[in-house]
Chain A
Amino acid sequence: MTPFEYAHPRSEAEAVELMNEPGTSTAVLAGGTDLIRLLRRDLVTPQRVVNIKDIPSMQGIKPVDGGVMIGALTTLEDLAASPLMSEYHSLHHVLDGIRAIQIQSSGTVAGDLCHLPNCWYFRNGYGLLGMENGESLVETGDNRYHAIFGNRGPAKFVSASRFAPGMIAGQARVRVVGPKPDAEEWLPLEYFYITPKTNAQGVTVLKPGQLITHVWLPGTDTAQGKVQSSTYEVLQLEGLDWPLASAAVSMVVQSGVVQDARIVLGHVAPVPWISHEASRTIIGRRVTEETAAAAGEAAVASATPLSNNGYKVQLARTCVKRALLRAAGQETGGL
């Protein structure tokens, strides 16, 4: 690990100030489960680590504007235990799959949203794009866990966030502060992620000196009816594991017919992958085994698998189908 200074601000303003001193590169530390790994391998080498964990305004969950305001530092176990979150089923489905008390007690909501890709080329020093001598190692190498959508450019990793698909389906917004002292902006979470063309661009719109402070989720009661949501993740291991693919659904059903639906796939593209094709297929129909399967089929019609990850197309197809059935309360059996 390359030496770094250690800053421990107690307010958002102080954090932004400490993250924006000219000539000092910084990294944000919260739960640490991702950052310390990156530091250990010198994959990030900040001159200063800013520990934001003790900023009171970024903690806890509150009802705001008919929805919930989730502090960026909310841990997974606090998210799971909050009565305010009880109707957000898609997030609970994700929480159920994070099967380690060590991660549940340390991991934070924004830490998940900002988690860097688990691509093994990136984790072993070949950059986000996994390039060596101008050639993509991912394209010709072992790409079994890589992208099947949005992979025509140089980025072939998959977005690591597990909450992002469910939160984007649920139309979450994030509050970003910095780099200027009073700068604050709210943006839809779906615009937060980018597919980089160079290693330096990163995986989100966050610029150096910016951080997420809050996530806001709209309420689950709308004029059209109650929002039904779910996430379906395919995990290889029984213990702690990252999904091979996932799909999240957020929909409103009236008299048995889907009025509105947002379907977002995870771990299949460099960004959480919004499938308008799948949404279009299910809107105006009843959710049945057949229509859900048709939506799954529509979701993967434009997939472009790499040499070793064709199997993920089937996983994605099934994720969409099962997430729809789960959201509609028709879940049957296990795998």
Chain B
Amino acid sequence: MSTPDRDQNTANGTGFSRRDFIRGSGAAMAATAIATSTVEARADDKAAKPNVKPAEATEVTLTVNGKEHKLKLEPRVTLLDTLRTDLSLTGCKDVCDTANCGACTVHIDGKAVYACTRLAHDCEGKKITTVESLKDGDKVDPVVSCFVKHDASQCGFCTPGFVMAVRAFLNSKPKASLDEVRKGLGGNICRCGTYHGITECALEMAKGG
């Protein structure tokens, strides 16, 4: 399993993040869980078939934000869980887990998808892009700046998913109308109700603002 780039998940630049701390304290517990699951795993007594991977963890290479990661994962692991727990890309959020709320939205080969209902093994060979890719040094994607401008975020938990949905939507429909925005961007839920700002943001971007 690759070790995630430390700078990548240290948002505050101090070299220490809340997530690192939580990970550290949870490591012992996680190790126990892994050991148990290995013991319980069924012995694969069938002859190996091409195009069939066993239920146990096998190697998979994921290309995330242009970087290749070699991981060892069970087929049942979702892309969302891999991104968050193995790669520390926590911009995609684990909220409804049922393809309803959109907080886990990432791009696969340029298309917005719910990472909660994708298996990680299913994403091998595909180009995965997360919200973290929208920031490059001091430069941020215009969608992000436009969200700020229109106050399109309140508690902020749904925001990364929304930003990724808006980004993919505008990539495919750069001149979208209000009707198209309504028909395309209904797959994300904001409990604070910032829909107005988000719609304004999408429309301004579509007008080339």
In the assembled complex, the Cα of A40 lies from the Cα of B78 at a distance in Å of 10
Chain B residues contacting A37 (CB-CB under 8 Å) are 97-99, 117
Report A294 CB to chain B, min CB distance, Å: 33
Is A101 touching B112 in the complex (CB atoms < 8 A)?
Answer: yes
Q: What is the interface size of chain A, counting residues whose CB is below 8 A from a CB of the partner?
A: 39
In the assembled complex, the Cα of A239 lies from the Cα of B195 at a distance in Å of 11
In the assembled complex, the Cα of A148 lies from the Cα of B53 at a distance in Å of 44
B interface residues with partner A (beta carbon < 8 Å): 41-42, 49, 51-56, 74-76, 78, 97-100, 102, 105, 111-114, 116-119, 121-122, 165, 168-169, 172, 182-189
Chain B residues contacting A103 (CB-CB under 8 Å) are 99, 187
* Highest count of chain B CB atoms <10 Å: which of A6, A37, A99: A6
A47-B55, A105-B113 known; 5 new pairs, CB 8 Å cut-off, are A3-B42, A5-B54, A18-B51, A102-B99, A102-B102
Is B113 touching A106 in the complex (CB atoms < 8 A)?
Answer: yes
Chain A residues contacting B76 (CB-CB under 8 Å) are 1-4, 39
Chain A to chain B contacts (Cβ below 8 Å), 20 pairs: A3-B55, A5-B54, A5-B55, A6-B53, A8-B51, A9-B51, A10-B51, A18-B49, A36-B99, A36-B116, A37-B99, A47-B55, A49-B75, A53-B122, A99-B184, A100-B185, A101-B168, A102-B105, A106-B113, A106-B117
- Determine if A14 is an interface residue (Cβ-Cβ < 8 Å): yes
In the assembled complex, the Cα of A40 lies from the Cα of B77 at a distance in Å of 10
Contact status of A33 and B99, CB under 8 A, knowing A8-B51, A99-B183: yes
Is A105 touching B111 in the complex (CB atoms < 8 A)?
Answer: yes
In the assembled complex, the Cα of A101 lies from the Cα of B165 at a distance in Å of 8
- Determine if A51 is an interface residue (Cβ-Cβ < 8 Å): yes
Task: Determine the residue in chain B with the shortest Cβ distance to A53.
Answer: B122
| The 9 residue pairs across chains A and B that have the minimum distance between CB atoms | A100-B187, A99-B186, A239-B186, A6-B75, A3-B55, A36-B117, A105-B111, A1-B76, A102-B187
Chain B residues contacting A239 (CB-CB under 8 Å) are 186-189
- Determine if A96 is an interface residue (Cβ-Cβ < 8 Å): yes
- Determine if A240 is an interface residue (Cβ-Cβ < 8 Å): yes
- Determine if A104 is an interface residue (Cβ-Cβ < 8 Å): yes
Report A313 CB to chain B, min CB distance, Å: 27
- Determine if A32 is an interface residue (Cβ-Cβ < 8 Å): yes
- Determine if A29 is an interface residue (Cβ-Cβ < 8 Å): yes
In the assembled complex, the Cα of A197 lies from the Cα of B130 at a distance in Å of 45
Is B121 touching A6 in the complex (CB atoms < 8 A)?
Answer: yes
Is A4 touching B55 in the complex (CB atoms < 8 A)?
Answer: yes
Task: Determine the residue in chain B with the shortest Cβ distance to A33.
Answer: B99
Report B207 CB to chain A, min CB distance, Å: 19
A-B contact count, CB below 8 Å? 117
* Residues 31-59 of A at the B interface (beta carbon under 8 Å): 32-33, 35-37, 39-40, 47-49, 51, 53
Of A4, A8, A33, A48, the residue contacting B114 (CB under 8 A) is A33
In the assembled complex, the Cα of A103 lies from the Cα of B65 at a distance in Å of 22
Chain A residues contacting B54 (CB-CB under 8 Å) are 5
Chain A residues contacting B114 (CB-CB under 8 Å) are 33, 102, 106
Report B82 CB to chain A, min CB distance, Å: 13
- Determine if A7 is an interface residue (Cβ-Cβ < 8 Å): yes
Chain A residues contacting B102 (CB-CB under 8 Å) are 100, 102
Of A5, A53, A96, A241, the residue contacting B53 (CB under 8 A) is A5
Chain B residues contacting A9 (CB-CB under 8 Å) are 51
In the assembled complex, the Cα of A35 lies from the Cα of B118 at a distance in Å of 10
Of A5, A14, A100, A241, the residue contacting B75 (CB under 8 A) is A5
Chain B residues contacting A8 (CB-CB under 8 Å) are 51-53
Report B135 CB to chain A, min CB distance, Å: 22
In the assembled complex, the Cα of A226 lies from the Cα of B169 at a distance in Å of 35
User: Chain A 98-131 against B: per-residue CB contact (8 Å), 1 yes, 0 no?
Assistant: 0111111110000000000000000000000000
* Residues 72-115 of A at the B interface (beta carbon under 8 Å): 96, 99-106
In the assembled complex, the Cα of A101 lies from the Cα of B53 at a distance in Å of 31
* Highest count of chain B CB atoms <10 Å: which of A3, A4, A7, A237: A3
Is A6 touching B52 in the complex (CB atoms < 8 A)?
Answer: yes
Chain B residues contacting A33 (CB-CB under 8 Å) are 99, 114, 117
Is B186 touching A240 in the complex (CB atoms < 8 A)?
Answer: yes
In the assembled complex, the Cα of A45 lies from the Cα of B143 at a distance in Å of 41
Chain A residues contacting B184 (CB-CB under 8 Å) are 99-101, 104
Report B200 CB to chain A, min CB distance, Å: 16
Chain B residues contacting A49 (CB-CB under 8 Å) are 75, 119
- Determine if A238 is an interface residue (Cβ-Cβ < 8 Å): yes
Is A99 touching B51 in the complex (CB atoms < 8 A)?
Answer: no
Task: Determine the residue in chain A with the shortest Cβ distance to B165.
Answer: A101
Report A95 CB to chain B, min CB distance, Å: 9
Report A111 CB to chain B, min CB distance, Å: 11
Task: Determine the residue in chain A with the shortest Cβ distance to B100.
Answer: A240
Chain B residues contacting A96 (CB-CB under 8 Å) are 183
* Highest count of chain A CB atoms <10 Å: which of B74, B121, B187, B189: B187
